[in-house]
Amino acid sequence: MTRSDFSKTLIDRLAEADHVAVLTGAGISAESGLSTFRDPGGLWDKFDPQELANVDAFLSNPELVQSWYSHRRELALEVEPNPGHEALAELEKRVPHFTLITQNVDDLHHRAGSDNVVELHGNITRNYCMECEREATDEDLAPIAEGEPARCPSCDGLIRPDVVWFGEMLPPDALRQASRASERAGVFLSIGTSAAVQPAASLPLRAKASGAYVAEVNVRSTEITRQVDESVRGKAGDVLPTLTDAVAQHG
C-alpha cells in the first residue's frame, strides 16, 4: 500500500521489535548532495556500468576507472551525512538488535554515527592492490591526479577501490550477516533504493518471507513496491526523523 505518511502499525511494530533490519541505497545520500545511480542525471547517465563498474573495464582502462572513483571519493568526503542518516543512527539506539545493511560505498552511515553497518558493496574510502591486496595509502593514489595508473609500491600491481563491481561476489561475511538479519528482523525498512541490484534487492523479500513487517521509503515506486507491506512516498531526510521521533514517543 502506497502512503504519504507511515502507518501507526509501523510505529507500533518498530517500538516493539527486538530486531530491526534496514537496507539503504543511493537515495538516502541524495540529500547530502551525492548523485544516485538510476535517477535522471544519475551516475550511470554519464557512464554505462559496463564501462566502469566491472573488472574488465578496469583492466582495459585503469586510469579512467581509478579517476572516476577518485572523483567520487573526493565528493563523498566533501559532503556531510544528512538527517536521514542521523535518524537511522538514533533509531539504532532504541532497538535491541539493529542491523544497517547498505549498498552505498560513501561511508556516510559510519560518519553519521551508525554502529552496526554491513557494507554489501564495499567502501570507496578504501583501496587495495589487485595482486598482493596491500591496502593503498593516499600517497600511493597520487599518480591518478597525473593521469597515470596508481600501482602498488610493493609489487607494482594495479590499485583498485574496495567496492564490489558487477559480476563480482559480495563479501561473504557481509552477505551472511545481511541475510541472517533479514531472516530474524521483526521489521525491515528499505530506504532510498530502486531494488534493481541483486542479491541486495532480494533481502526485503526474504525478510517478508520470514514474517517481517516490510516498509519502504522512496520518492517513487520501486521494483518491490507491490510486495512490501507499506510504501511511504517521501524523502528519506524528511520521513526518517519523523519516524524515529514517533518511535521515541511511543508509550
What minimum distance in Å lies between the beta carbon of 138 and ligand BV8? 20
Would you tell me which residues interact with ligand BV8 (CB under 6 A)? 25-27, 30-31, 36-39, 42, 53, 103-105, 121, 163-169, 192-194, 196-199, 217-220, 222, 235-236
Residue closer to ligand BV8 (CB basis): 7 or 225: 225
**Which of 145, 143, 131, 130 is closest to 58 using CA atoms?**
130
Which residue out of 19, 85, 121, 250 is catalytically annotated? 121
Spatial neighbors of 184 by CB under 8 A, at least 6 apart, are 19, 21, 97, 210
Residue pair 26/193 in contact (Cβ under 8 Å)? The answer is yes
Distance CA 96, CA 16 (A): 10
- CB 251, min distance to ligand BV8, A: 29
208 or 235: CB nearest ligand BV8: 235
Residue of this chain nearest to ligand BV8 (CB atom): 27
Kindly state the smallest distance separating residue 101's Cβ from ligand BV8, in Å.
11
In the bound state with ligand BV8, the residue whose beta carbon lies nearer, of 99 and 193, is 193
Unique residue bearing C-alpha cell 582502462: 61
Instruction: Give the Cα separation of 33 and 84 in Å (integer).
Output: 13
Alpha helices by DSSP H, listed for 27-166, are 27-30, 43-46, 49-52, 55-60, 62-78, 83-93, 108-112
CB of 96: closest distance to ligand BV8 in angstroms? 26
Instruction: State the minimum distance, in angstroms, from the CB of residue 156 to ligand BV8.
Output: 25
- The three-point CA angle 174-81-134 to 5° equals 45
Nearer Cβ to ligand BV8 (31/92) = 31
Instruction: Report the distance separating Cα 244 and Cα 137, nearest Å.
Output: 38
Nearer to ligand BV8, 19 or 73 (CB): 73
DSSP-assigned states of every residue in 104-134: --S-HHHHHT-SSEEETTEEEEEEEETTT-P
Residue 110 annotated to the active site = no
- Known catalytic residues are 121
